[in-house]
Structure 1
Amino acid sequence: MKNSEFIERFNDLDKIYDIRATKDIVFSHGVEVNEFEDNNYKTVARLPEDEKDWSFFGAFQCSPQMLELMAELAKTPPEEREDVQKYVILNGLPRHGTCHYFLIDVYSCRLLPCQLDGLDESDVAAMGAYSKDGLREAKKALTPELATAVDMMKVTFERAIELTENSRHDDLD
């Protein structure tokens, strides 16, 4: 089961418990279950991307169907759970609808600055967006300092699209 499928199916089941499943992008890049309490959502369970066991925080009520879905996701091998995520190395924030980014030149061991006007799902290949493993391999050609900088500049392809879209009207500032 893919994380996205789990999140969709889990959230469809929530009719009375006021809990939801989301992507966990802050700590472990897996899935988390949140419960609405005191005008906030708090994390009550988390399944990190590379683990088979859920971590639970406090007590919460959920249906047997929700528990079955949680067990099904945990039984899925970690490498089969994640939708293929692509990453982009941003060279600053997009401006005026133009995305400035870097490609890693593994032959010259440096970053190549590039830009693309507008950005949508069809631009993944044009941008040279990296998979998690592909980025890890490409960074081996860089110095440790530059590889660390790449980690700080990378964003998901979806986030790059969002930032580029939001920058279309920068001239109105």
Structure 2
Amino acid sequence: MRTFTYVDNKKGVTIIELMITLAMILIVIGLSYLFYFYVVRSFEISSTQSAVQENVRLAKNLIDKEIRRASYIKIEEPPDDVNKYNHHIMTADGKIKKDTNYLLGNLSEGVEMGLLFTKTSDSFIEVTVTGSIDGDYEYSITSEVLALGGNIDNSINDSGDEIYFKYE
């Protein structure tokens, strides 16, 4: 019959094995750290871009609605006949204002907004709304709006960053 002899290995872990294991753990932790902050930064950037786009689209939709409903429209300078136009849209302090109120209220907090109105034909006005945060993440949207009232007191290709209008 055979007898087994057991070798008693009391050696344990060598310092080299411990250093290799520690180096691998540090590499994994370092890569996890980099990945985590990459994901967080990407989320912040996409949230900021989304906020700018949301504000620009909302402002454009509200302005388009106002222009469609208007019966008389004048781009740029204040009109000679102030009584003919009782509303206006313009930018002030980087925010879009309709008459004396901010068009988006506090929604556009931190977003620098810009406007450009251009008469493209007898009944159409091109509206361009831009927005950015701290000069970055700029977003712009342009649309051509049919002025249902049809009375635009400008020449074709006249443009400006203010518009005066009246409802009937």
TM-score tier after normalising by the smaller chain length: under 0.3
More relative contact order, 1 or 2 (CA 8 Å, 6+ apart)? 2
Kindly name which structure, 1 or 2, has the bigger radius of gyration based on alpha carbons: 2
What TM-score results when the alignment is normalised by the length of structure 2? 0.23
- Normalised to the residue count of structure 1, the TM-score between the two structures is 0.22
